[in-house]
Amino acid sequence: MGAVWGGSLWIGLVALLPMAVYLAVWRWPNHQVWSPRVVPADLFRLLTGVLFAGAVHPSLGLLAGLSAFWWALLGSSRLAGGTLWPLVAMGVWLGLQVPFWVFQGALLACLGVGVVQVAMGVGQRRGWRWVLGTNRAGMVHGTLGHRTGYGIYLAMLVPLALGIVPWPWNWLLVAVYGVGIVLSDSMVSALAVTTGILWMVPGLWMVAGAFVLLGAVYRFGPNAWQRWRTPLQNRDWRPGHWGRWYVLTGLVKPWRGRLAVWRATWPRCRKWPQWLIGHGAGAFQLDARRWMSRSGLREVYSEAHNDYLEAFYEYGAVGAVALGLWLWSVWPALTYGSPFVGILLTAGVAMTLNFPLRVAPTATLILLAAIALMRGV
């Protein structure tokens, strides 16, 4: 019914395109010189994507409409964001139309890719340059370009493996992915995989806790140990409160950059009307480099390292409404122990400290999980 409504509205608007330039001149008489050739073509591109996204799902149509608004307002600087949600809608539509065996094959392919990623990570840790190694010996990133994204990708595969692969092969896969997560040297990945395991097998809290412990030791241990040894080499240092504080600051040091970015981003999210409609899809990467340098940050980030905050910066409260619409539509499928809910929860934990929505492989897993819930798998 939604597709019929969307198609009918699209055909009606196409018929009105020759009048578009005159309507534009009437509405914005002093804005710019309007072209009878360019304006209808621009409207055609904008409206087609918005209406198609809305026909697939109302939440996608809302996000596509908001992105199209910013595209029309600011021009080519928002082109990538303006086309994002129609493309996402196309992927969702294809995922809903393909036979189940094709969709299941895509999920199994993701599990296979995870095994390849772990093998590449082992090679990178050993310094093999032919597996996309870097100049830094031992830097593990697979094909994702960074160790944290690499670990998050593998963590998101854990609930999928536990849910769709029969025993004991599912746990063998989990063990393989666990090797990659440990090699990623990422506390975020350890927290994410803990969530996935506890969602699928609540009784295995000891296994999940082991992932967190290993992640903490790998991520913070060397830094804290180095800061513990440094004061011992100083004759003026005395054990006690300040010595313990010196080591403690070594534990929290990796989070300082994130906190600085969050403090710089949040005030810009609260302005009117940005808290309602955001700054536009993809705006953070375009805007942040400019105002971060003015904020005096030591490092300029292209991501907020918190997908919730970055999404609020780009979509405002309208984005939250769109998320609510989607959750309401798939609510019956949100069953306890579902591997697809597990993928989303794992990603949700990682999104608090990183940006899996902005990395293509992890975003693909999120999209596949969303499609599975929409299919009622």
Final residue belonging to a domain, choices 97, 118, 149: 97
- Give yes or no: residues 264 and 215 share one domain: yes
Q: Do residues 231 and 245 lie in contact, with contact meaning Cβ atoms separated by under 8 Å?
A: no
Helix H segments across 57-146?
Answer: 58-74, 79-97, 100-125
Of 100-104, 182-186, 337-341, the one with minimum mean pLDDT is: 182-186
Task: Work out the angle between the directed axes of helices 38-56 and 79-97 (0-180°, nearest 10).
Answer: 40
The tens digit of pLDDT for each residue in 212-245 reads: 666 666 655 555 555 555 554 444 444 444 444 4
For residues 67 and 205, the model is more confident at 67
Final residue belonging to a domain, choices 77, 97, 117: 97
What's residue 286's pLDDT? 83
The tens digit of pLDDT for each residue in 56-103 reads: 999 999 999 999 888 878 876 677 788 899 999 999 999 999 999 999
Over residues 300-305, the mean pLDDT reads 81
- Give yes or no: residues 54 and 153 share one domain: no
Cα dihedral sign, 308-314-320-325: negative
Task: Work out the angle between the directed axes of helices 307-329 and 283-294 (0-180°, nearest 10).
Answer: 150
Final residue belonging to a domain, choices 37, 63, 97: 97
At a CB cut-off of 8 Å and minimum separation 6, what does 232 contact? Answer: none
- Give yes or no: residues 117 and 52 share one domain: no
- Give yes or no: residues 118 and 33 share one domain: no
3-state secondary structure of 223: helix
- Give yes or no: residues 243 and 177 share one domain: yes
Task: Report d(CA 48, CA 55) in Å as an integer.
Answer: 11
Over residues 171-180, the mean pLDDT reads 94
Terminal-residue alpha carbon distance, the chain = 22
Quote the pTM value. 0.83
- Give yes or no: residues 35 and 110 share one domain: no
Over residues 322-327, the mean pLDDT reads 94
Domain hosting residue 10, numbered range: 2-97
The tens digit of pLDDT for each residue in 1-54 reads: 455 555 565 566 556 555 555 555 555 555 554 555 556 666 677 778 888 899
For residues 210 and 195, the model is more confident at 195
The closest of 48, 53, 46, 50 to 92, measured between CA atoms, is 53
- Amino acid present at 60: L
- The DSSP secondary-structure symbol of 35 reads P
- Give yes or no: residues 274 and 132 share one domain: yes
Q: Please count the structural domains in the chain.
A: 2
What DSSP string describes 238-289?
-SSHHHHHHHHHHHHGGGHHHHHHHHHHHHHHSSTTHHHH-S-TTHHHHHHH
The tens digit of pLDDT for each residue in 161-175 reads: 999 999 999 999 999
- Give yes or no: residues 246 and 322 share one domain: yes
